[in-house]
Structure 1
Amino acid sequence: MSASSESPRKTSSQGHDDAPSFVPDQEKSFVEDHVDGDDNVWYKLDLVVLPVVTIMFFLSNLDRSNIGNASIAGLLTALKMTPRQYSIALTTTLVPYALVNFGTNLLMKIIGPRVMLPTLCILWGLVATLQGVVTSYSGLLACRFFLGLFEGGLLPGITLYLSSFYPRRRLQARASVVLSSVTLASAFSGLLAAALIKLHGMGGRPGWAWLFIIEGVISIGFGLLSYFLLPSSPTDIFLLTEQDKKYIAQELHKDGIILAEERDLKYTKAEVFRTFMRPHVWIVTLAGFFNGSSVGALGYFLPQIIVGLGWTGSKAQLMTVPPFAVAAFLAITASILSDKFARRGLTMIGFGTLATIGFGIFTAKLPAHTLYGSLFLLTPGVFGIAPSLGTWLANNSAPLARRATAVSIGTIATNFGAIFSTWLFGTISPSPTYHTAKVTLLVFQIGTVLAAVANIFYLSAQNKRNERLQQEHGGSEPYKGEGSVMEAGDDSIWYKFVM
C-alpha cells in the first residue's frame, strides 16, 4: 500500500497519551533509503523476538501433551484410569484452555505481553510439575484444569503479539516457526519420555512422574528468564537503530497496525462485535475446528495409535518422533513460500490434500508398516495447516480489537476440535483400530480444504469490490485520517485482503 503525501507527525515519546503517529517528512526519505527493502531489519527483530516466544510455546505443548507419553509409561495403571477417564482428563484441560482466550487477550492489552506471557509460563510450569506428585485421579484432574487455564492464553497472546511486530506479508513465516514447535515438542516428547522413564524408582517415584516434574521445572525457569528477554514493542529492541525503528513503525502503520506504546482509540466493544459479522472469520474458524480435531488426536493419541499398530515401550515412544520432525520442516518451508507470495489459502489446500491422502491410506486395512508410513503424510498435512489458520485471521482483521477477537474465535474453535478428538478416540471409537475416528478425521480434512477454497473466493470478491470502489473514488490512498486503513481497518476500500 502506498502512502499519501500528507505530512505525518513525529512519534511521541508519550505514546500512551497520543494517537498513532508517523515519521516526519524530512526524516522519512532517509529512513526509506537507509533500510527500505532490507530484510536485515526484520532479521534483527527475529533474533530477539522469535527464540523467546518459540521456546515458550514449545514448553507449553511439551507440558500439555506429555500426558500421552505418560499414558503408555504407567500413568493409567498407577492411577487406575479407564479410557473414558483418560478422555475426561484431557477434556478437563481443554475446556478452560479454549474458553480463556478472550479474557487473556484483554488482560494482555492492559498489562502488556512482557508481564503476561512469562507469568503464564511460570504458572503452568508449576502446575505441570505438580502432576508428578499426584497420587489419585482427582488430583490429576485438578492439575489438568489449571494447566489448561494457564496455558490457554498463550497461543492467541503470541499470535496477537507477533501481529504487532510484523507486517501482514511477513507474519506467517514467523508464526510458522512458533507453531512448528508443536511438532518439535511432540517429537522431542517421545525422545525425552524414552529417556526419563528410565528414572523409574528414583526418589521412590515412577518414570512417568519424572517426565512431568523435570519438564515442568524447565518451564518455570524459562518463564523467570523471559521477564528479561521479551520486548514489549519493536522500539524496545536494542539491536535496532532509530532509523530501523522508524521504518518498522511506517511499515506497520501501512497495514493498520499500531505499536504497543501508542494509544488504541479503536479498541472498543463495537469493534469486537463487528468481528462476529465477518464471513471470512467464520469460514476460517470452521476450518480451525476441523483441523483442530486432527491436531488434538495426533498430539494426545499418537503414542497409543502406534501401540495399536503393534509397537510397545520405548520403541513406541521413539516412533512418534520422525512424523513430527518431517511435519516441522515442511510447515516452515511452506510458510516461507506463503509469506513470499501472500497465499495462505493455497498453503491450506496443499497441506489439506496431503492430510486427506494420508487419512485415506490410514483408514484402509493394510499392514502395520504401511499404516505407519501414512503418518508421514497425514501428520505434516495436519500440522502444516495450523500456521495458515492463525495468520489468515490476523492478516485480514483490522484494527487491533478485531484482530484480537478473530484470533480468539479461531483459537477457541480449534480447541473445541481438540476436545472432540479426546472423546472420538478411545471412547466413541475404541482401540486399537479407531476406525470411526479415522473416517471422521478424513471427512474433516476434506472439509478443511473446501473451507479454504470458499474463503479464497470470498476474499477475492472483496478485493475486486474494493478495487472498483477505489476507481470510483479516485485519488490516492490516504496515509491516515477518515477512510484510511489506519482509521477504518478492514472496512477501508484501500484494504487488500490476503488470499
Structure 2
Amino acid sequence: MMTTVVEPAESIISTDGDSVYENRTENEGDRVALTADSREGASECLSPSSSQGRVWTKMDLIVLPVMTTMFFLSSLDRSNIGNARVAGFQEQLGITDEQFSFALTITIIPYSFVNFPTNALQKLLGPRLLLPSMVVLWGAVCAFQGLIKDYPGLLTCRFFLGLFEGGLLPGIVLYLSSFYPKRRLQLRISMLLSAVSLASAFSGLLAAAIVKMDGVSGKPGWAWLFIMEGTFTVLFGFAAFFLVPDAPTSAPFFTEAEKDLIKRALHEDGIILVGEEDKDYTWTELWRAFVQPHVILIALCGFFNGATVSGLAYFLPSIVAGLGYAGAEAQLMSVPPFAVTAVLSIASSFLADRYARRGIAIVSFAIVAAIGLSVFLASYVNVVRYASLFLLVPGSFCIAPPLGAWMSNNTAPTIRRATALALLSTMSNLGSIASAWILGALSAPPRYTTATAVLLAFQFGIIACAAGNILWLSSENAKREGQRGLPGAAAQGNDSIWYTYVL
C-alpha cells in the first residue's frame, strides 16, 4: 500500500515497501531512493529536533569563518583606495578627480565580467583550489599598489586587482548555496556580506593607525596602507588552501549520520540533484537563466543597489570629510554607520530566513535608503546630513543579502544557478562603474547633489523591481499549484511545476 505525505520542506515523500522516494521541487520525475534502514540508522543517532541545529552550527564553524574572512579582505583591499585618498594619495601622485574615477572604472570592468568564467572554473577545479588562489593573487596586487610611482602604475594594479577579485563573491555565494538549505541561506549570506560593512568600518580604524607610519623607509602612509593590508591577504590565502572543503559531505568533523542528514536536507530542498552531470545541462540550460523574468528583475535590483553600495564603500570617507571632519577624524567618523549596518543586516536576515520572505526585506530597506538620501539631499546642516548616513548606509547594504539569497533560492539546476548569480554580480558591478563617475567626477563635493538625486531614483527602481518580482513569483506559484494534479511533461530545475518559488 502506497501512502503519500506532504512535508513542509516543499517536498513530497512517498513510501512503498522498503524504499522512500522524494519528489523534490527540482523535478517531479527526479527521485532519490533512500533505504528505510538508512533513514532509521540516521534517526537513531540524530533526533530531528536537536540534530538539525547542531549539524548546521558545525557547518557554520567550518565554512563561514574562512569565507567571511576572504570576502572581508576582498572588500578591504578593493576599497582602501578611498582611505588612501583621504591620506594624500591622490595629491601626491598628481591625479585629477577624473583620473581617479577612471582608475576605479578600470578595476570594475574586469571585476564585472570575470564572474562567468570563474564560476565555470570553480566547477572544473573545485573551490578548494580556485578561491584561495584568487586571494593570494589579489593580495599581492594590493601590496604592489604601495610601490607605484605614477598613474600608469596605478591603472595596471587596479586592473589586475579587479581581475583576480572579480569572481570571489559569486563564487562564494554559489559555494554557500551548495552547502545550506534555502531557508538557512540568507542569514549566512548576510554574515558574509556583513564583512563589507565591517571592512568599511574597520578600514577607517586601520587606516587611521597605519598612515601614522608616514615616512618609515621613505614611504608615505598611504603606501604602507596598501602594503600591510595586501601582505596579510597573501598570508591568509595560503592558509585557506588547507581550510576550504570542496563539498558539504567532505567537510571534516562530521559523522556519517550527520553527513546523511546534510545530504537528505539538500536533496529535499532541491539543492543537490541525483546524478546531476554537466552534460545534462548544456548551453541551453546556461542561456535559460538570461530570459527568466525573476532573474532579470533581481539583476536590475543588483544594478541599482550596486551603484549605491559601491559609491558608499569608495566615497564615504570623502563624503564625511565634506561634512566638516578632516584627516583621521574623517576616517573614524565613517565607522559608526557601517557598524550599525552589520548588526541590522544579520538581524533582518534571520527574520527573512525564518519567514522565507526576501522581497519584503528588499523593499523595506530600499525605502529606508530613500529616506536617508532625501534627508541628505534636502538638508544643509552637517549634523543632520551625517545622521542621514545612519539610514542610507544600512538601508543600502542590507539589500544585498536578500538579493543573493533570492536569486539562489529561485534558480536551478546548478549551472543555471551559477549563471544567475554571476549575472547578479555583473549587474552590481556595472552599477559600481556608474557610481564611480556619478560620485567621482560628475557630482561636486561636498553636497554631491547630482549623485544623491540619481541614487535616490535608483532606490525607487529597486522598489519597483522587487515588488514586481513578488507579484510574478506569487502568480507562478499559484499557477503551478493548479497544474500539479494535471498530466503533463516534466520540466527541469525551477521550470518544474513541483518547484515552489521563495517570495
| Length-normalised TM-score, structure 1 | 0.93
SS of the aligned residue for 1:425 comes to: helix
CA distance in 2, matches of 1:21, 1:471: 21
Q: Does 1:317 find its partner at 2:331?
A: yes
Aligned equivalent of 1:188, options 202, 211, 221: 202
SS of the aligned residue for 1:472 comes to: coil
The aligned residue for residue 494 of structure 1 is: 498
What code does the residue aligned with 1:232 have? Answer: D
CA distance in 2, matches of 1:310, 1:386: 30
C-alpha contact (below 8 Å) 2:31/2:274 kept by paired residues: no
Q: Decide whether aligned partners of structure 1 residues 283 and 77 sit closer, same or farther in structure 2, where only a CA change above 3 A counts.
A: same
What code does the residue aligned with 1:343 have? Answer: R
The aligned residue for residue 15 of structure 2 is: 5
SS of the aligned residue for 2:337 comes to: helix
What code does the residue aligned with 2:13 have? Answer: A
SS of the aligned residue for 2:399 comes to: helix
Q: CA deviation at 1:25?
A: 2.5
What code does the residue aligned with 2:110 have? Answer: P
The aligned residue for residue 477 of structure 2 is: 463
Deviations 1:382-428 (A, max 9, x none): 00000011111110000001100110111100000011000001311
SS of the aligned residue for 1:5 comes to: strand
Question: Equivalences for 1:322-333 in 2 at 5 Å?
Answer: 322-333=336-347
Aligned equivalent of 1:29, options 35, 40, 45: 40
Q: CA deviation at 1:3?
A: 2.6
Q: Decide whether aligned partners of structure 1 residues 61 and 238 sit closer, same or farther in structure 2, where only a CA change above 3 A counts.
A: same
Q: CA deviation at 1:326?
A: 0.4
C-alpha contact (below 8 Å) 1:258/1:264 kept by paired residues: no
Q: Does 1:75 find its partner at 2:89?
A: yes
The aligned residue for residue 317 of structure 2 is: 303
What code does the residue aligned with 2:337 have? Answer: P
What code does the residue aligned with 2:97 have? Answer: P
The aligned residue for residue 210 of structure 1 is: 224
Q: CA deviation at 1:365?
A: 2.9
SS of the aligned residue for 1:471 comes to: coil
C-alpha contact (below 8 Å) 1:22/1:249 kept by paired residues: no
Question: Equivalences for 1:117-156 in 2 at 5 Å?
Answer: 117-156=131-170
Q: CA deviation at 1:247?
A: 1.2
The aligned residue for residue 105 of structure 2 is: 91
Deviations 1:176-198 (A, max 9, x none): 10011001000000000000010
What code does the residue aligned with 1:416 have? Answer: L
Q: Decide whether aligned partners of structure 1 residues 121 and 267 sit closer, same or farther in structure 2, where only a CA change above 3 A counts.
A: farther
C-alpha contact (below 8 Å) 1:3/1:254 kept by paired residues: no
CA distance in 2, matches of 1:209, 1:110: 37
CA distance in 1, matches of 2:135, 2:273: 24
C-alpha contact (below 8 Å) 1:81/1:137 kept by paired residues: yes
Q: CA deviation at 1:161?
A: 0.3
Q: Decide whether aligned partners of structure 1 residues 229 and 104 sit closer, same or farther in structure 2, where only a CA change above 3 A counts.
A: same
CA distance in 1, matches of 2:240, 2:158: 24
Deviations 1:476-497 (A, max 9, x none): xxxxxx84xxx72111111110
SS of the aligned residue for 2:365 comes to: helix
C-alpha contact (below 8 Å) 1:426/1:434 kept by paired residues: no
The aligned residue for residue 403 of structure 1 is: 417
Q: Decide whether aligned partners of structure 1 residues 450 and 492 sit closer, same or farther in structure 2, where only a CA change above 3 A counts.
A: same
Q: CA deviation at 1:257?
A: 1.9
Q: Decide whether aligned partners of structure 1 residues 134 and 93 sit closer, same or farther in structure 2, where only a CA change above 3 A counts.
A: same
CA distance in 1, matches of 2:33, 2:348: 34
CA distance in 2, matches of 1:169, 1:262: 22
Q: CA deviation at 1:35?
A: 4.5
Q: CA deviation at 1:435?
A: 0.2
Q: CA RMSD in A?
A: 1.8
Q: CA deviation at 1:2?
A: 2.7
Q: CA deviation at 1:262?
A: 6.4
C-alpha contact (below 8 Å) 2:412/2:494 kept by paired residues: yes
CA distance in 2, matches of 1:187, 1:231: 29
Deviations 1:101-156 (A, max 9, x none): 00000000000000000000000000000000001111011000000000000000
CA distance in 2, matches of 1:36, 1:180: 30
What code does the residue aligned with 2:48 have? Answer: D
The aligned residue for residue 15 of structure 1 is: none
CA distance in 1, matches of 2:278, 2:267: 12
Q: CA deviation at 1:32?
A: 4.6
| Length-normalised TM-score, structure 2 | 0.92
More strand by proportion, 1 or 2? 2
Aligned residue-pair number: 480
The aligned residue for residue 7 of structure 2 is: none
Q: CA deviation at 1:296?
A: 0.9
Q: CA deviation at 1:471?
A: 3.1
Q: Decide whether aligned partners of structure 1 residues 490 and 204 sit closer, same or farther in structure 2, where only a CA change above 3 A counts.
A: same
CA distance in 1, matches of 2:63, 2:462: 31
Aligned equivalent of 2:122, options 108, 119, 125: 108
Q: Does 1:358 find its partner at 2:369?
A: no
CA distance in 2, matches of 1:292, 1:490: 26
SS of the aligned residue for 1:143 comes to: helix
Q: Does 1:369 find its partner at 2:383?
A: yes
Aligned equivalent of 2:392, options 372, 378, 397: 378
Q: CA deviation at 1:5?
A: 2.9
CA distance in 1, matches of 2:344, 2:274: 32
C-alpha contact (below 8 Å) 2:366/2:462 kept by paired residues: yes
CA distance in 2, matches of 1:31, 1:4: 19
Q: CA deviation at 1:309?
A: 1.2
Q: Which moved more, 1:26-35 or 1:353-362?
A: 26-35
The aligned residue for residue 237 of structure 2 is: 223
Q: CA deviation at 1:366?
A: 2.6
Which residues of structure 2 form unaligned runs of 5+? 1-10, 22-29
Q: CA deviation at 1:286?
A: 0.7
C-alpha contact (below 8 Å) 1:297/1:421 kept by paired residues: yes
What code does the residue aligned with 1:496 have? Answer: T
C-alpha contact (below 8 Å) 2:197/2:339 kept by paired residues: yes
C-alpha contact (below 8 Å) 1:113/1:161 kept by paired residues: yes
SS of the aligned residue for 2:440 comes to: coil
Deviations 1:74-96 (A, max 9, x none): 11011100000000010000000
C-alpha contact (below 8 Å) 1:63/1:128 kept by paired residues: yes
Q: CA deviation at 1:24?
A: 2.6
The aligned residue for residue 167 of structure 1 is: 181
